[in-house]
Chains A and B, each alone.
Chain A
Amino acid sequence: MQMSMQVSHVGPQLAVLVGAVVTLLVAMFTGRDRQWVNGPLALVALVVAAVLQVDLAGGPAVLAFDGLWALDRMTAVGSVTVVIATGLVVALVPGWLATDARHGEYYPMLLLGALGAMVMVAAVDLNELIVGVVLSSVTGYVLAAWHRQSAWSVEAGMKYFLVGGLANIVLLVGAVLAFAAGGTTDHAVLAVTLVDADPWLLVPMAVTLVVGLAFKAGAVPVHSWVPDVSQGAPAPSAAFLTVVPKVGGLLALARLATVVPIDASGWRPVVAVVAVATMSVGTLAALGQDDVRRLLGWSSVSQAGYALVALAVVGRSERAVPALVLFLAGYAVANVAAFGVVTALRGRTALADWSGLARSRPGLAVAMVVALLSLVGIPPLAGFASKFAVFAAAIDGGMTWLAVVAVVNTVVSLAYSLRVVAPMFLDDPVGPVHVLDRWSVVAVVIATAAVLVVGLAADLVLSGATGPVLPELP
């Protein structure tokens, strides 16, 4: 394992950080009519970050900064996913906040939230992981409660904050237990010292770590914020918060799975139980929704469950981590596309209002159908390739029963997706449909195209994410 300390190893993160600082300064020192420049500025920072991250991915896997920073394939593809998703969300913002006096301040929040997720993805030390989680959470609370005058938005922010506060403490307990059992917070050392640790410490540690990060993933039992944020928070915030922290949290869990003694700690059954509960709760709750945003929120919960299926076989199948990364990439673009359509339609949310959309806005209707069918897993969209990879990992890892549960949930998920699709195509339009602005439509077009590209060129993501996950066990 190569150790080194080059600033360039955190170049992408620095780019995002610089972007956050610059946009914050612009927001503070320019007039309301100039705040729009923050949009392009944020995009520039994200593009630079993406380019730097892709550039780094060409090199060998290294444990940089004295073993604090994992620069492996998972970090590379995971961070690029975060950056792309954030970039698409940025395009949704100008129209949504056009009349908002604090428009400019939204961008530094987004960028810092993205940075938090990127830290989670690459952290190889529990303290550092917690810094990432807290950064992501704190900015997330602000993003969720952005509309101070809206009771819905404030409620969403409050719920997110309360659940998050609890979950973050649970995560801290997990870190403390790990420290108690292993004598350090460094993943590489923990991987060695935890092997002989007391199972009475290891099992609670596994449970608390999984539950603590499940909050970021929007998974059971700390999932209750997802539908509220999806429905009440500003639509761009909902797009961001249902995607970016999920990528960070689940990839952090994947890295932890290579560190904890997987059998002695009961890690696998814990993850499997959470996976089954998350899939099923999300799917069943989505079935009864008459509000499209809330439905998308519950669907987002169930998607975390499918991702956890891959997580459950990390260590048993070498296909697990690439499958998880592909799944998150596919989910990210599809979910941003779906919330992008919601944003472009000015937050249109009651199911009844979506009737006849195929006639009044055929382009956006097609984008919504593509996004929903991708989330179900219909080929050749991203969701198919990613579910296929996840199922293959589960079967390869000897947990076929998890794949079977996922299949049953997938069938039910088609039912609620068609509840949105059918009225769009079969019913008559109700009233005029207004579109937010050009940029939100551009974001939808790009995200929808990405759903197709990730589906057809899935190998790019899969092979890109295939490689050792640091810290490698001795």
Chain B
Amino acid sequence: MLTAAIVVPLLGAVVVAVAGRRWSEPVVRAVGVATTLVPLALVVAAWVAFDPGSDEAFQLVTDVEWIPTLGVGYRVGVDGIGLAVAAVTAVVFTAAVAHPTEMRGLAHQYVAWFLFLESVSLGLFLSLDLVLFYVFFDLSLVGMYFLISRWGHDDAERAALKFFLYTLLGSLSLLLGIIALGVSMDPITFDMRAIIAAQPLADSSQAVAVLVLVMVGLGIKTPMVPFHTWLPAAHVEAPATASAVLAGVLLKMGTFGMVRIPFLMLRDTFADASLVIGVLAVVSILYGALVALGQDDLKRRIAYTSVNHMGYVVLGLAAAGSVVTGHEAARALALTGATVQMVAHGLITSTLFLLTGSIWDRTHDYDMDHYGGLLGQVPLLSGAMILASFASLGLPGLAGFVGEFQVFVGTFAVHPVLAAVGLLGILLTAALFLQLVQRMFLGEMPDRWSSLSDLTPVEMATLGVLLVLTVAVGVAPRLLVDTVHAAASLFVGG
């Protein structure tokens, strides 16, 4: 079932790339959307089949040898955390493929790359082998490189190159860390479950170096300050749908990797370093929010809020891994919060980026100073943007609140000072989104936007799905939280 969720979009990508050349654009898109519905259905089925009450953290496991000489296998399976992130991945991809955008006469290639990326992303979140994880981690760069460089804006080629080089450096750093973990096992293996159980570097002098290698690699992807500089360029130049996937799904690979590798496999070392990681997270929170506040470019502003929001996730992880025993309840809460925040950020930020795409298609302008009073002219578009903004700033009743609340409650128990300083970030985010709403949607509308058209039915559908889920997670978080919490409790040993 999980394997099918990985393979179907990959096959779809191949079919669309080869046969799609002769199809019309709507047909290609329809095939693409239909393909993304398959993994979505499969992930939902996996969710139903998953037993949150079980003592087995990883379920629905497939384990096949790949390179037995080096202990590498094709191993996939889910826990509550992987399930949550995989689910949001499937949703975001369906929305991103369906969302209208200019495909420059290369619809088949465009859709094929999206399907390829979906396969790779799901593969990463479902993999239980470090090398398999790395394979998908690396392939996500290839897909994103071509999407940004081919369908991006003016300076896309440079931005894509920077993105690829920067993140490849990160992934290779991660690779060295992964190899060190695998080699330290006897016999050599990259089976995540075995390494989690063995904690092979617990008493080793290498542990710190491995932690640094892995955290740098994952920190670049997340991105954490000071490794975030590739992000604004990539987001600004990328087509909006690719930005939605980049922020909504690919960034999660960094934090998800942090759960899987340093948090679970280097428990002692992670606990020793948790304060440092927490401080870096708070720096990301504040820095991301402050820089976002200073942007006049709509897309840049949203891009920087990702640095801020992913900071909450890392803060939650730092709190959850702060000690090896003790504070179980608070730590489980922090880990749950971090995961829910990943889900919420995936839904909300991809909505925001899809909306910037809708705006760009209409106006070809990202400068917020050129807008104002749009609420009267395009009420649906404005309403969607305002709702997503409120969700992003953490308004109770919407998805963003649930995760952030749990992260902060959990963090207060172990790192109260960090939590207090981090709360300032929420304040700043509120300011930057309220100011965004005010500048773009309230006040006087410049005359040139008087012919602006509102959302099309397709846009309403894609954005609607994401926003409904945002509200659903906010109002009734139980289904999500229970599943995640089951895994979190097992992992913190509570």
Contacts and interface: CB of A to CB of B under 8 A. Distances in A.
B27 interface: no
B139 interface: yes
A379 B135 contact: yes
Contacts of A414: 164-165, 168
Given A391-B176, A414-B168, A422 B149 contact: yes
A378 B67 contact: no
Nearest to B166: A411
Interface string A453-469: 00000110011001000
Contact of B69 (A380, A396, A404, A466): A466
B70 A396 contact: no
B138 interface: yes
B119 to A, nearest CB: 12
Contacts of B66: 459
B442 interface: no
A395 B179 contact: yes
A410 interface: yes
Interface in A425-439: 425-426
A459 B66 CA distance: 7
B165 A403 contact: no
Nearest to A385: B67
A388 B149 CA distance: 28
B157 A388 contact: no
A395 B176 contact: yes
B20 interface: no
Interface string B163-197: 01100110011011001101100001000000000
Contacts of B310: none
Contacts of A395: 176, 179-180, 183
Contact of A418 (B131, B161, B173, B180): B161
B165 A392 contact: no
B139 A462 contact: no
Interface string B140-167: 0010011001100000010001001100
B457 interface: no
A425 B69 contact: no
B53 interface: no
A411 B182 CA distance: 23
Contact of A378 (B138, B173, B179): B138
Q: What band does the interface of chain B fall in when counting residues whose beta carbon is under 8 Å from A?
A: 20 to 34
Nearest to A380: B135
Contact of B183 (A322, A396, A422, A425): A396
A385 B134 CA distance: 12
B71 to A, nearest CB: 9
A403 B183 CA distance: 14
A411 B169 contact: yes
A293 to B, nearest CB: 23
B91 to A, nearest CB: 26
B182 A392 contact: yes
B26 interface: no
B166 to A, nearest CB: 9
User: Per DSSP, are chain A's interface residues mostly helix, strand or loop, or mixed?
Assistant: helix
Contact of B70 (A379, A388, A410, A422): A388
A400 interface: yes
B70 A373 contact: no
B176 A379 contact: no
Contacts of A373: 142
A379 B150 CA distance: 22
B176 A388 contact: no
B179 A392 contact: yes
Contacts of B173: 407
A331 interface: no
Contacts of A380: 135, 139
A415 interface: yes
Contacts of A327: none
Contacts of A385: 67
A389 interface: yes
Contacts of A411: 165, 168-169, 172
A370 to B, nearest CB: 11
A215 interface: no
A69 interface: no
B135 A426 contact: no
B179 A463 contact: no
A391 B67 contact: no
Contact of A463 (B69, B157, B169, B183): B69
A466 B173 CA distance: 27
B168 to A, nearest CB: 5
Contacts of A400: 176, 180, 209
A384 interface: yes
Contacts of A396: 183
Interface in A376-406: 378-380, 384-385, 388-389, 391-392, 395-396, 400, 403-404
Interface in B69-91: 69-70
Contact of B138 (A319, A322, A379): A379
B69 A410 contact: no
Given A378-B138, A378-B142, A395-B176, A422 B161 contact: yes
Contacts of B169: 407-408, 411
29 contacts: A322-B69, A373-B142, A378-B138, A378-B139, A378-B142, A384-B138, A385-B67, A388-B175, A392-B179, A392-B182, A395-B176, A400-B180, A400-B209, A407-B169, A407-B173, A407-B175, A407-B176, A410-B172, A411-B168, A414-B168, A415-B161, A418-B164, A425-B149, A425-B150, A426-B149, A426-B157, A459-B65, A459-B67, A466-B69
Interface of A: 319, 322, 373, 378-380, 384-385, 388-389, 391-392, 395-396, 400, 403-404, 407-408, 410-411, 414-415, 418, 422, 425-426, 458-459, 462-463, 466
Pick the 6 closest A-B CB pairs, nearest first: A379-B135, A407-B172, A462-B69, A459-B67, A411-B169, A396-B183
